[in-house]
Structure 1
Amino acid sequence: MSIKLIVFDLDGTLLDVEHKLQDKTIEAVKKVREKGIKTMVATGRMYCSARPHTKLLGMVDPVIAYNGALVIDPNDEKEIFHAPIPFEIADEITKMVVNNGYHLQLYIDDKLYVAEKNKYTDTYYDIAGIEANYVGRLDEFLSEEPTKMLIIEEDENKQIEIKNFLKDNFKDKIELSSSYPSFIEITKKDISKAVPLKEFAAKSNIKQEEVMAFGDGLNDLKMIEWAGTGIAMQNAHPELQEHADATAPNHDDFGIARYLKQYFNLNIEIEDKR
């Protein structure tokens, strides 16, 4: 069965360790598209954070952002799909997080809101290139349904506590995922990158077995499992590697470009990066 659609995660997959797109990666993706294969990006990032990369890649098919909670047409930047977290649930989680002194980020209308500037906002800026809006107490600020919520916690024991609380109190109301070890990402129940991907494939008359997907984080798991060919990066989370059909080289060594070159017999010269 030939591949008709390829979907790529961004961080840890298409992007290198400096969160940048290398020329060889851009070239490989464009050469695949020249073969008549559709290409998409599916990321946990905000759309505004993904946009510079999707533009460099020349993406014309829908961009899946916020782990599947928002889908945008890159041609006119209009919303195709949006599934925010219900306000009641978001409000309750926000109060819990604020009362326990954890770092929370709220995403509303493709804007980032936090209580104050700190080491976590600095780290996030280094990754996503997005400046946050500092609004003070988030439990007093929240008045709309957020597209996504993100708790950043480096302490593994505290992470377990937070996840257990969320699972115990909201297991039938939210989805939990992670694109980085310190990230606890919250979206509406039954939302994942796989949801809009399935919808787009169906509308495009593309069969499941004709879809190839690349990823590295646990937020890619459902997408990797659903795709006919699910590929984990060499640097991917061990659980993702277990469920993948194949492995691509490390993201910081032109992993996507090398895999696409070999699989699709692309005419690209790729030298060793190191």
Structure 2
Amino acid sequence: MYENIKLIVCDIDGTMVPSHHKLSDYGKEMIQKIKEKNILFGIASGRSIKDIKYILSTWGYNQIDFIIGLNGSQLYDGTDDKVYDYFQMKPEWIKETFDIMRPFSHNPVMYFQKAYMCGVYDEKIHFSAQYTKSDYVVAQSEEDFYQEPNAKIMFRVDEKDMPEVERRVKEFESVYYKGNKTQSTLMEFQNRQASKAYALEQFCIKHNIKLIDTMAFGDTTNDNEMIEAAGIGVCMINGSQDTKELADVITEKSVIEDGWADFIDRYI
């Protein structure tokens, strides 16, 4: 059924591993299986390429065919070791997102130069920093976040507030940028033209691969466009309902059970 697949791309958190976990030995075996079949393999994540490379190194991988970072605002091509940057958020758009999020308790986070900038350095920020060995700086004021263009702005919120956050983001929908829930406590805003699907398409064009011959794994809203664009879009059984509705296939096992690896083992 999937004999023509030439490229496989996977989201990390909630797809390949539970958040802040290492890849299992079974997962590593399936990556090896993919490579032995001469299928290109890549990672797509909301994280930066720098952070993804660090995570991959903790898994024992120092080289990979490609990485889609920052939900598609970055593309790393491992075949020529080049990084490509795409659509960014303008400062005035970032400022608007603060107005959208103002009714809720939140902690803004942004990739800042080679570090992160946050509103408050709390326990969750500390945990994330330790996971990727990243540096953080604390903003002196809200205005620090919209001094220059940036790939995206993230807001950490209380899980109980997320349904209302999603409603407000939809109410104040912009033609220039979009808001996606990427975790149960994280809302991210990004240029509307940026997506994992766009970066995937750019890599495929460069390497003369048809999208119909690709397979993408994901679990939530920021994976939707990639899952739609791929020839075979696979959603994790633990994924969000909107992503399941767009997928061609749903895994039989969850991320905790290595559902993506089980799917590769069965069908590739």
Distance 2:80 2:135 in 1: 24
Task: Report the alpha carbon displacement of residue 143 of structure 1 after superposing the two structures with TM.
Answer: 2.0
Stretches of structure 2 that go unaligned for 5 or more consecutive residues are none
Stretches of structure 1 that go unaligned for 5 or more consecutive residues are 265-274
Task: Report the alpha carbon displacement of residue 68 of structure 1 after superposing the two structures with TM.
Answer: 0.6
Question: Relative to 1, partners in 2 of residues 1:58 and 1:241: Cα closer, same or farther, differing over 3 Å?
Answer: farther
The alignment status of 1:65 with 2:69, answered yes or no, reads yes
Please tell me the residue identity of whatever aligns with 2:25. D
Aligned with residue 44 of structure 2, among 38, 42, 45: 42
Distance 2:169 2:247 in 1: 27
Moved more, 144-153 or 75-84: 75-84
The alignment status of 1:251 with 2:251, answered yes or no, reads no
Name 2:30's counterpart in structure 1.
Answer: 28
Please tell me the residue identity of whatever aligns with 1:176. G
Question: Relative to 1, partners in 2 of residues 1:15 and 1:129: Cα closer, same or farther, differing over 3 Å?
Answer: farther
Task: Report the alpha carbon displacement of residue 45 of structure 1 after superposing the two structures with TM.
Answer: 1.3
Question: Relative to 1, partners in 2 of residues 1:100 and 1:212: Cα closer, same or farther, differing over 3 Å?
Answer: closer
Name 1:83's counterpart in structure 2.
Answer: 87
Task: Report the alpha carbon displacement of residue 108 of structure 1 after superposing the two structures with TM.
Answer: 2.7
Aligned with residue 158 of structure 2, among 154, 159, 167: 154
Task: Report the alpha carbon displacement of residue 175 of structure 1 after superposing the two structures with TM.
Answer: 1.7
Task: Report the alpha carbon displacement of residue 81 of structure 1 after superposing the two structures with TM.
Answer: 2.2
Question: Relative to 1, partners in 2 of residues 1:11 and 1:94: Cα closer, same or farther, differing over 3 Å?
Answer: same
Question: Relative to 1, partners in 2 of residues 1:110 and 1:27: Cα closer, same or farther, differing over 3 Å?
Answer: farther
Aligned with residue 191 of structure 1, among 159, 183, 194: 194
SS of residue matched to 1:91: helix
User: In the TM superposition, what whole-angstrom CA distance separates every residue of 1:41-94 from its partner, at most 9, and x where no partner exists?
Assistant: 110112222112334345432311111112224577642123221122113434
Aligned with residue 6 of structure 2, among 4, 7, 10: 4
Distance 1:127 1:184 in 2: 20
Distance 1:192 1:141 in 2: 22
SS of residue matched to 1:179: strand
Aligned with residue 236 of structure 2, among 210, 218, 233: 233
TM score, norm. by length of structure 1: 0.84
Task: Report the alpha carbon displacement of residue 96 of structure 1 after superposing the two structures with TM.
Answer: 5.9
Task: Report the alpha carbon displacement of residue 9 of structure 1 after superposing the two structures with TM.
Answer: 0.2
8 A Cα contact 1:21 1:53, kept in partner: no
Report % sequence identity.
25
8 A Cα contact 1:211 1:228, kept in partner: yes
Moved more, 127-136 or 84-93: 127-136
Question: Relative to 1, partners in 2 of residues 1:96 and 1:67: Cα closer, same or farther, differing over 3 Å?
Answer: same
Distance 2:166 2:246 in 1: 22
Q: How many residues align?
A: 263
Question: Relative to 1, partners in 2 of residues 1:137 and 1:250: Cα closer, same or farther, differing over 3 Å?
Answer: same
TM score, norm. by length of structure 2: 0.86
User: In the TM superposition, what whole-angstrom CA distance separates every residue of 1:126-185 from its partner, at most 9, and x where no partner exists?
Assistant: 7655442223323245422121111111254x4455445544545101021122111111
Moved more, 47-56 or 252-261: 47-56
SS of residue matched to 2:250: strand
Please tell me the residue identity of whatever aligns with 1:212. M
Name 2:138's counterpart in structure 1.
Answer: 134
Name 1:171's counterpart in structure 2.
Answer: 174
Question: Relative to 1, partners in 2 of residues 1:126 and 1:245: Cα closer, same or farther, differing over 3 Å?
Answer: farther
Task: Report the alpha carbon displacement of residue 107 of structure 1 after superposing the two structures with TM.
Answer: 1.7
Name 1:181's counterpart in structure 2.
Answer: 184
SS of residue matched to 1:136: coil
Distance 1:18 1:155 in 2: 18
Question: Relative to 1, partners in 2 of residues 1:252 and 1:159: Cα closer, same or farther, differing over 3 Å?
Answer: closer
8 A Cα contact 1:46 1:110, kept in partner: no
